[in-house]
């Protein structure tokens, strides 16, 4: 195995090992950043919904309650306001999902289904947990969800949701008397859910990963080619010429030209040493010839 082959084996094995290690680390970092981006989007949506709920409870409800009417006004309900607001957002971003899910809701549209029930049960079994996020698979790809529990901490809520006979007649007329009652103080009755797609963030991470790895591989290949060129002109070619001259001299031909020594590097020093050896050997051969004659 020649010097060039040995050099390239070590070089490219090192490059491949380095690329593998970098690819694993960069993939992990980019995927983690994609998940953080998706979680950040979910947090923003959650805060928007919470802000709408708070604004409705503090600003809209007091104004609407001053209107003399026997009809139930759903606009006074924070859950209704938040849901309607998020539906407008979903028109622009249909892949986003928002729901105020409950096991026993007043509005049937808020009834928990499937995975939503599991989240509510998780909060009921872990009452100290304030937020819970995880990933889930959907027909449209992987989503990340963020949720928080709905806990009855305000006893005023029980004026409408304890027993049907205590609820406003207008509410009964709109939603009936079968749902949204028998709630208890400090009971977790549901969860606020936000689900956002991870596909966009993961796709962006994949694109960044591919660009980074192709660029890094290109740099490695360029360095490898450059090192091979330097190896050829600075080591392989001079050594090959020295070996050829040494072989010629060993056969008794002293007419080979000396090397042109330029620079002060190791190869220049080796060439100078070879020239001195050549001259010494040439002088010794001449002296030996004179002695014979």
Give the 3-state secondary structure percentages of the chain, helix then strand then coil, rounded to 5: 65, 10, 25
293: pLDDT strictly greater than 70: no
Low-confidence winner among 75-79, 116-120, 280-284 (lowest mean pLDDT): 280-284
Question: Tell me, what's the pLDDT at 292?
Answer: 64
Which tens digit of pLDDT belongs to each residue from 135-178?
998 888 889 999 999 988 877 777 778 888 777 787 888 888 88
pLDDT given for residue 281 in this prediction = 74
pLDDT at 13 over 90: yes
Contact 147, 191 (CB under 8 A): yes
Contact 42, 247 (CB under 8 A): no
What number is the average pLDDT over the span 197-218? 92
- pLDDT given for residue 233 in this prediction: 83
Query: How many helices (DSSP H) and strands (DSSP E) are in the chain?
Result: 9, 4
Beta carbons within 10 angstroms of residue 156's beta carbon: 7
| Mean pLDDT calculated for residue range 45-64 | 88
Predicted local confidence at residue 193, as pLDDT: 95
User: Which pLDDT does position 196 carry in this prediction?
Assistant: 93
How confident is the model at residue 243, as a pLDDT? 76
Q: Is the pLDDT of residue 283 over 80?
A: no
> What pLDDT score was predicted for residue 99?
94
Cα–Cα dist 29/21, whole Å: 12
Q: For the residues 55-78, what does the mean pLDDT come to?
A: 80
Beta-strand runs (E) in 109-187: 132-138, 141-151
- For helices 78-92 and 3-55, angle between their N-to-C axes, nearest 10 degrees: 140
Per-residue confidence band for 115, with pLDDT thresholds at 50, 70 and 90: very high
Whose tokens are 């007043």? That residue is: 106
**In 106-265, alpha helices (H):** 115-125, 158-161, 169-175, 199-231, 237-250
In the predicted model, is pLDDT for residue 124 greater than 80?
Answer: yes
- CATH number of the 207-292 domain: 1.10.8.500
- Give tens-digit pLDDT for 68-103: 777 777 888 888 899 999 999 989 988 899 999 999
Strand partners, 144: 135, 196
Of 200, 196, 201, nearest in space to 48 by CA? 196
**Given CA atoms 53, 59, 62, 64 in this order, what sign does their dihedral have?**
negative
**How high does pLDDT run on average in the chain?**
86
Question: Against a cut of 0.75, is the pTM above it?
Answer: no
d(Cα 76, Cα 63) in Å, to the nearest integer?
Answer: 9
Tell me what the mean pLDDT of segment 256-275 comes to: 74
pLDDT tens-digit readout, 175-189: 888 888 888 888 999
Residue 19 has a pLDDT of: 93
Confidence label for 211 from pLDDT (cuts 50, 70 and 90): very high
- What is the model's pLDDT at position 21? 95
Name which residue leads in pLDDT, 267 or 23.
23
**What percentage of residues in the chain have a pLDDT greater than 70?**
96
Residue ranges, comma separated, of all CATH 1.10.8.500 domains in the chain are: 207-292
pLDDT beyond 80 at 41: yes
């Amino acid at each position: 195995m020649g010097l060039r082959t040995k050099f390239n084996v070590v070089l490219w094995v090192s490059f491949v090992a380095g690329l593998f290690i970098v690819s694993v680390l960069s993939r992990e970092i980019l995927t983690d950043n994609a998940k953080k981006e998706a979680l950040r989007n979910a947090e923003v949506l959650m805060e928007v919904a919470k802000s709408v709920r708070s604004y409705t409870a503090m600003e809209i409800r007091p104004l609407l309650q001053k209107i003399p009417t026997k009809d139930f006004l759903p606009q006074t309900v924070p859950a209704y306001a938040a849901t309607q607001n998020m539906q407008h957002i979903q028109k622009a971003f249909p892949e986003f999902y928002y729901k105020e899910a409950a096991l026993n809701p007043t509005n049937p549209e808020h009834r928990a289904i499937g995975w939503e029930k599991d989240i509510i049960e998780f909060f009921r079994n872990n009452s100290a947990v304030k937020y819970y996020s995880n990933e889930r698979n959907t027909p449209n790809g992987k989503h990340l969800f963020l949720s928080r529990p709905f806990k009855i901490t305000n006893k005023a809520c029980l004026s409408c949701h304890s027993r049907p006979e205590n609820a406003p007649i207008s509410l009964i007329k709109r939603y009936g008397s079968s749902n949204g009652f028998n709630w208890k103080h400090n009971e977790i009755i549901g969860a606020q859910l936000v689900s956002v797609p991870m596909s966009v963030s993961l796709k962006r991470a994949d694109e960044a990963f591919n660009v980074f790895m192709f660029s890094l591989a290109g740099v490695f290949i360029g360095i490898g080619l450059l090192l091979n060129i330097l190896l050829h002109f600075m080591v392989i070619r001079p050594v090959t010429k020295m070996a050829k001259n040494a072989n010629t001299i060993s056969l008794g031909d002293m007419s080979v030209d000396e090397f042109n020594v330029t620079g002060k590097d190791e190869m220049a020093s080796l060439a100078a040493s070879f020239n001195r050896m050549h001259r010494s050997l040439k002088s010794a051969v001449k002296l030996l010839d004179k002695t014979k004659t």
